[in-house]
Amino acid sequence: MSTAAGIAMSNNGLTTLSEDEELFRASVREFAEGEVRPRVEAMEHGSKLDAEIIKQCFDLGLMAIESPEEYGGAGSTIFNAIVAIEELARVDASVSVFVDVHNTLVTNAFMRWATDDQKKKYLPQMAESRVGAYALSEAASGSDAFALKTRALDKGDHYELHGQKLWITNGNEAEIFIVFATVDPEAGYKGITAFIVEKQFEGFSVGKKEDKLGIRASSTTELILDNCKVPKENVLGEAGKGYKVSIETLNEGRIGIGAQMLGIAQGAYEAALRYTKEREQFGQKIGDFQAVQFQLAEMAVEIEATRLLVYNAARLKDAGKPFVKEAAIAKLYSSRCAERVSSKAIELFGGYGYVKDYPVEKFWRDSKIGAIYEGTSNMQLQTIAKLITSGK
């Protein structure tokens, strides 16, 4: 099947998958249904990913989808990565974002910016067992990512990092971190540099885990850098070019978040659809009422539109075509879709939708983060507006 950008993949349209892609989707769904779903409730209540699920994600190759085969990866596409993220989010968004960040942010940054020696050292580890995390945000540096305060002092044969990072996904599980710090505050964004930091480095520690509304099993932590010593060879890209590393990596990462939101919407919709075929009122299944059918139809339309946007952005990226605007559109729309569909699912469940005995309230809680992380909805609108007004 052609990956030509922005056109139908076959007579059935852009959402058609090749035979290999369908097989891959089926394998991820089997894992999600058979291994993840039985553990979702326990992970949610424990606010922690099951260690066996983490191990299986590595064993199944889900942590190295795009990583080249020579480094132990599958050498596959971002399209397959977002299919995996979607299928996992359909069951549990926490497992989904765990896989997403490792692939679309951390591995992607290594593939794009790492030296050959860095790739040889770290990519095999990240394919086999060591989790990655991406540390950009700070207390005063969210949407204004380049207002970061973390300093990197040149000590000759190494850098010394001082500062604090917040809201770091995979913070508790990760052993390899991409940390952004400035080597020259006076240079503004041109002083920002990306560093490869290992958990065992002197002066590095993981702080508190946030108590969150949704994606509760996913660890979101602070990182503390207290005279953290980082070897000179662990600069990712060039010193002072960290802003390019972050921007270009996050552009791909937004497609992953779009896929996560798509999966959340799909999972909520399927739960609601099943329930309307079971619940009876006034002597008939509630799904037999036209008003309910119309609501389900609206949900299905939004999900299909989201799928087209997310898949198109991924196809564009794989085809080497411009995709930044499409990624921003996909993330913006998918976050709205996930929130609307999961909210409607709660209403279709009625009172049962509001209690934790049923799954849809969790889908709704998990959906809210989509409008916030890896670029808020307002930042996506800003990107879209900038690109369309400049004729791109």
Query: Which of the following is catalytic: 138, 173, 361, 374?
Result: 374
Contacts of 31 (CB under 8 A, 6+ apart): 56, 60, 62
Give the closest residue to 122 by CA, choosing from 199, 207, 224, 228: 199
Half-sphere exposure of 199 (CA within 13 A, CB side): 13
110 within 8 A of 136, measured Cβ to Cβ: no
Helix H or strand E segment including 152: strand 151-154
Give the closest residue to 226 by CA, choosing from 206, 246, 196: 206
Strand-pair partners of 164: 224
User: Using CA atoms, how far apart are residues 126 and 175, in angstroms rounded to an integer?
Assistant: 9
**What region does 131 belong to: left with phi over 0, alpha with psi -120 to 50, or beta?**
beta
Question: What Cα–Cα distance (Å) separates residue 245 from each residue in 23, 142, 159, 235, 252?
Answer: 33, 16, 18, 11, 11
User: Using CA atoms, how far apart are residues 379 and 39, in angstroms rounded to an integer?
Assistant: 35
DSSP output for 222-234 = EEEEEEEEEEGGG
Give catalytic status of residue 70 as yes or no. no
Place of tokens 């990913």: 49
Terminal-to-terminal C-alpha distance of the chain: 27
Positions marked catalytic: 374
